[in-house]
Amino acid sequence: MRPIHLYNQLSHSKTNAREPTFIIFKFLIWLLFFGLASLLIGGQTKKLINSRIRLIESGNQELIFELQPFDLKTKQINWNNKNYHLITVTGFGTQSETGFTMLPVTGTLVQIPSGESLSIEIIESSFEELNDINILPVPEIYRDDSSNQQFYQFNEDPKIYQLNSYWPQNLVEIAEQGKLRGRKIVRIQINPVQFNPSERKIKIVKSLRVKIKFSKPFKQNHLSKSEVSRDDFDDITQMLLLNGSRSSSGTKSPLNVSENSIWYNRENTYYKLFVKDDGLYQLSYQDLVAAGVDVAQLNLQNLQLFNHGREIPIFIEGPQGTTFSSQNSIYFYGERNRGEGTFYDLFTDTNVYWLTVSNRPGKRYHLSTRPNKNAKTESFYWETVHLEKDSLFYRWNKASTLDEGEGWVWRFFFPDEKEFINFNVSGLYKEVPVCTLRVRFQGTTRDSINPDHHVRVFLNDQIIAEDYFDDREELILNSPVPVETLQEGVNRLEIHLVPDTGAEINQIYLDWVELIYPRVFAAQQNHLRFSYIQNRRQLIDALLTNFEENSVFIVNPRKGKLWKPVAKKMSILGIKSAGFDDGNFVRFFIDFDSFEMQGENHRSYNLAVIYPKTGEREFRSFDTFGSSE
């Protein structure tokens, strides 16, 4: 089985983080920027998100809030014989882009329905103008390591300080989007002071009322308010959100509330499991004892496993008593962490599962003993080989959020550059004529030539696909590939950015490659994972081979069903031999492992014998002088 790490709930995990430092820093600023103050005194929680933003109305599809009156503080500063004004508001933040105007900003966090967007409408506003004001620019900060002191350089950004209009342009705007405890969150930014650099005057908000409307309403939850369990973290979440009461108002969050809001019980002990690969995992009695678990307190019937707030079914092997014994093991199907719409997550591949004992029976896999009659015989399934390396972090803007096409990439291409990628294919089923190759590219430059990018893709030295695309467009090649082009074992993909478009500026990046090919039901390293789309009532009859043991688990994690068939011993053998004219070697494929031997005097070992009972392998020889087939 696959290895697993088990820690107590108080331990800290070090993940394979893909997260750029600026994103961590940005989240800290979120909390500081909105002036969050949470005081837990004698069980009482005081809420102070932003005392100058007041919620007027809150419904399933819209909410209205207003900005309360505030006082400005001004201070004159002289820099390089030039007079500036520093304007601040107690409890507000400031603009942070170097060279931009250092003006007060404030805002709030709003929860919106999962997968939806919002619109902003200013329904009431009034202003006051002040003249002869020159706003101080945001400084560039330097540090002198020898004296451990900081120095400030105030330089105006021309694209701001040469404007003859108010800046920022928007009084209220969407600043960022993200997730908080599974809820989709939008940060609404308010710019209460706007500056016209050319006319040296500012416009100050005196009153402001704003309507936020969601593209679709929140869905109603079937649970009543009293049935939704809450914990301390939910209390903190509500404090952060302007419409935070929605977290417990009977409305589903993006994570299914019927399961997700009741999974945590502060009275229970939780053990943290880290999973980095998809597969069936085993937790033995010895694993739990080694991790410091009080195994005697584990009630077999009430053991539960959770992931992202959902209970995951488990299978307990061994005596089905009330306590965990040395003959018991826990099995569960674990999956690595995935991104939203991406193969890899932006931050980490490590997923976290929580093991606990509750006061009610946990979910279990159901042992299935379905008969095989009326089953449809299948000889292969569609295997997906996904190739992706997150080598470089790419972005073309300096905003705090990522635009489409930004993120981790494999490599960049300049004109006439090539990339060679080797990958393995095993268990190839050659009775199907065509498979599919998919490659994702993204343009990163702009040029007057249209189109300015031209790519060609070769597989085992045969051209498979080519296409043109322009500027910063995305290109996903989706090309049919003759199965006969593939070979058992190592295959080679070649990608070429062809320098024939005439573009002076021409750069693209490679994101990922996928090959979808027909494969026999043969295990590798005692493991076989496949998906099969079928009629819900149609069974399939498939020959599963290449397992190292007779006892095999067959798990359907989506339906929570498990089979334990007894396998018969068998192996799969393939032979490729070369004769006098083309190399004088023999290559055996035994259970898809490759063995190659060179002969002497044009005669060599080129027969493999496998003993069914023991699995032992023996090599014998015969004449290969005459043929290479």
Question: Could you give the CA distance from residue 278 to residue 332 in angstroms, rounded to a whole number?
Answer: 11
Question: Per-residue confidence at 556, pLDDT binned at 50, 70, 90?
Answer: confident
- Over residues 367-400, the pLDDT tens digits come to 876 655 666 778 899 999 999 998 998 887 766 6
Identify the pLDDT of residue 12.
28
Please determine whether the domains at 24-227 and 381-519 fall in the same fold group of CATH: no
Percent of the chain with pLDDT over 90: 38
Lowest mean pLDDT among 12-21, 419-428, 579-588: 12-21
Is the model's pLDDT at 20 over the cut of 90?
no
- Pick the residue with more confidence: 73 or 47? 73
Is the model's pLDDT at 515 over the cut of 50?
yes
Identify the pLDDT of residue 602.
44
CB 168 within 8 A of CB 96: no
Question: Could you give the CA distance from residue 511 to residue 496 in angstroms, rounded to a whole number?
Answer: 14
Is the model's pLDDT at 541 over the cut of 50?
yes
Identify the pLDDT of residue 45.
37
Mean pLDDT of all residues in 444-461: 95
DSSP 3-state assignment of 535?
A: coil
Question: Could you give the CA distance from residue 187 to residue 212 in angstroms, rounded to a whole number?
Answer: 12
- Over residues 149-166, the pLDDT tens digits come to 778 888 999 999 999 999
Tokens of 413: 């291409």
Assess if CATH 3.90.420.10 describes domain 24-227: no
Question: Could you give the CA distance from residue 272 to residue 356 in angstroms, rounded to a whole number?
Answer: 9
CB 74 within 8 A of CB 86: yes
Is the model's pLDDT at 101 over the cut of 90?
yes
DSSP 3-state assignment of 557?
A: coil
Is the model's pLDDT at 492 over the cut of 70?
yes
Show me where the domains of the chain are located. Answer: 24-227, 263-364, 381-519, 573-623
Is the model's pLDDT at 625 over the cut of 70?
no
* Domain made up of 381-519: CATH architecture: Sandwich (2.60)
DSSP 3-state assignment of 574?
A: strand
Identify the pLDDT of residue 158.
92
The partner residues of 176 in beta bridges, in order of sequence, read: 187
Is the model's pLDDT at 448 over the cut of 90?
yes
- Over residues 306-319, the pLDDT tens digits come to 998 889 999 998 88
Is the model's pLDDT at 440 over the cut of 60?
yes
DSSP 3-state assignment of 191?
A: coil
Identify the pLDDT of residue 596.
65
- Over residues 254-286, the pLDDT tens digits come to 333 334 446 778 788 889 999 998 888 999 999
The partner residues of 65 in beta bridges, in order of sequence, read: 55, 210
Q: Number of C-alpha atoms within 13 angstroms, CB side, residue 32?
A: 8
- 544 burial via Cβ count (<10 Å: 0-12, 13-18, 19+): middle
What 8-state DSSP symbol labels residue 600?
A: B
Question: Per-residue confidence at 617, pLDDT binned at 50, 70, 90?
Answer: low
Pairing label, strands 329-334, 315-317: antiparallel
Question: Considering the entire predicted model, what is its pTM?
Answer: 0.55
CB 143 within 8 A of CB 220: no
Mean pLDDT of all residues in 407-435: 94
Is the model's pLDDT at 443 over the cut of 60?
yes
Identify the pLDDT of residue 227.
35
Question: Per-residue confidence at 142, pLDDT binned at 50, 70, 90?
Answer: confident
Q: Name the average pLDDT for the chain.
A: 78
Is the model's pLDDT at 333 over the cut of 50?
yes
* Helix residue spans in 489-618 (DSSP H): none
- 111 burial via Cβ count (<10 Å: 0-12, 13-18, 19+): buried
- Pick the residue with more confidence: 331 or 616? 331
Identify the pLDDT of residue 493.
97
Question: Per-residue confidence at 573, pLDDT binned at 50, 70, 90?
Answer: low
Question: Could you give the CA distance from residue 298 to residue 59 in angstroms, rounded to a whole number?
Answer: 45
The partner residues of 192 in beta bridges, in order of sequence, read: none
Identify the pLDDT of residue 592.
56
Question: Per-residue confidence at 1, pLDDT binned at 50, 70, 90?
Answer: very low
Lowest mean pLDDT among 37-41, 198-202, 411-415, 612-616: 37-41
Please give the span between the terminal C-alpha atoms of the chain, in angstroms, as a whole number: 39
Identify the pLDDT of residue 417.
96
Mean pLDDT of all residues in 117-126: 92
- In whole angstroms, what separates CA 444 from the centre of its chain? 22
The partner residues of 412 in beta bridges, in order of sequence, read: 509
CB 254 within 8 A of CB 114: yes
